[in-house]
Amino acid sequence: MFRKLKSRSISKHRTYAIDEIAKALSVHKGTVGRWIRSGELKPVDSGRPVIVHGVEVHRFIKARKPKKQKCDLDQWFCMGCRQPRHAAFCEAEIVSANTASCNVMALCAECAAIMHKRFSLSALSQLKGKIDLTVPQALQHLIDSSIPCLNVVLKNTTEV
């Protein structure tokens, strides 16, 4: 599990012992030792006691931050794969919508996990050409009209 580390209390102009880094980052000493053994966090030298430059601690924390991954229009971010993925069978379903945007559900093409993504209505019309979009009957009036009007919604619901 990824935990966000706060480097605010680490000065770039000092060196730190393992227990000082552990205390400043609120992690166990063993965790800092593991980072050093794995080569992720580089000590000043191979001598004892092990000390690390503050600037190195900052570099390590910055490098640890997960990189933002951008999804293409026809991709969803799969929480199972932790990566942008295409919809299985190029199919997706609109599960909810309001006058400005809608929530589109799809299954991951790799692991079949359920993925959700919010689309603006203009982005949705672009998506229509790329994948097979299922629109439930109850939401059709919102998606088909270019300028959605709340009155139409009210009229339709009173007719039913």
Task: List contacts with Zn ion (CB under 5 A).
Answer: 78, 80-81, 108, 110-111, 113
Closest separation in Å from C-beta 85 to Zn ion: 5
Query: 53 in helix, strand or coil?
Result: strand
Give just the sign of the alpha carbon dihedral 119, 124, 130, 136.
positive
- 50 versus 113: smaller Cβ distance to Zn ion: 113
- 50 versus 111: smaller Cβ distance to Zn ion: 111
Closest separation in Å from C-beta 112 to Zn ion: 7
- 40 versus 110: smaller Cβ distance to Zn ion: 110
Tokens, residue 27: 């992690």
Q: Which residues contact 105 (CB under 8 A, 6 or more apart)?
A: 92, 93, 94, 95, 114, 115, 116
Closest separation in Å from C-beta 127 to Zn ion: 19
